[in-house]
Chains A and B, each alone.
Chain A
């Protein structure tokens, strides 16, 4: 299994992501500098968290023009698996690989805490091994997911909402929503199901010492999906 973690100027979760994938899957991902290209043999591309280009203009707005994104977009359109975490999610939105946009958190504060998420689909490459309710950390100032009413209706109809902020019982309440996101959305997938963007950080929850191992299930899901693909 070949995993590529893209490194933009201002990324700051890339090494955590490399270590998390190494720990969970036993393979060491390659770091791909934003001026390089994704190798076509790659199985999974991860756009990590951070503050690419200092969040200038809008989070992810400049990074989407990085040379590497041409190959990421080609890879995604060809059905390749792409996971955008936090700033990576923002870049996927700006690149048009996922619908919607991010606004500043409705509380206007940088939110850094543990949240519960409800997994809405278990038939995706990213979620086949994730539990119904998982616990992951969030750390963002611009995580208030926005999409208009028509867009939201489409997301619901196409089952593109993958994770919703919820309480520990799995209820997607207003109190459980850390940033004001429409419909408590924490993560969405494209229609084809191969591009996932999520604000919470699975790479920060892969060991008991970190407080949770729920994030490991996202990475192990992909590994298990690829195994069944290669077997068939």
Chain B
């Protein structure tokens, strides 16, 4: 069993109105040090797979076809092996 942490981000050249608004709010909060905020999405996926390579192939397919829109977004997958039946599943 595997647990994947997937982060979907907007590509660097894609405008991020949400990130800009959050930056505006951070500045209102008094955080003048904040220079740039980009918003993204996080997914946690528990996946059954025989090995890490198979797990990565399945997760890449999931990202490319559903979790991310390749026109505007990129994704990163972090994978860890977990024990079957553990509390984490």
Chain A residues packing against B (C-beta within 8 Å)? 57-58, 61, 65, 93-94, 99-101, 103-108, 144, 146-148, 180
Contact = CB atoms under 8 A, between A and B. Distances in A.
Interface size class of B (residues with CB under 8 A): 10 to 19
Nearest to A100: B71
A101 B14 CA distance: 11
A61 B71 contact: no
A46 B72 CA distance: 26
A61 B68 CA distance: 9
Interface of B is mostly: loop
Contacts of B69: 58, 61, 94, 101
B18 A146 contact: no
A61 B17 contact: no
B53 to A, nearest CB: 26
24 contacts: A61-B66, A61-B69, A65-B66, A93-B71, A94-B69, A99-B71, A101-B71, A101-B72, A103-B14, A103-B15, A103-B16, A103-B17, A103-B72, A104-B18, A107-B17, A108-B17, A108-B21, A144-B17, A146-B14, A146-B15, A146-B71, A148-B13, A148-B71, A180-B15
Contacts of A58: 69
Interface of B: 13-18, 21, 66-67, 69, 71-72
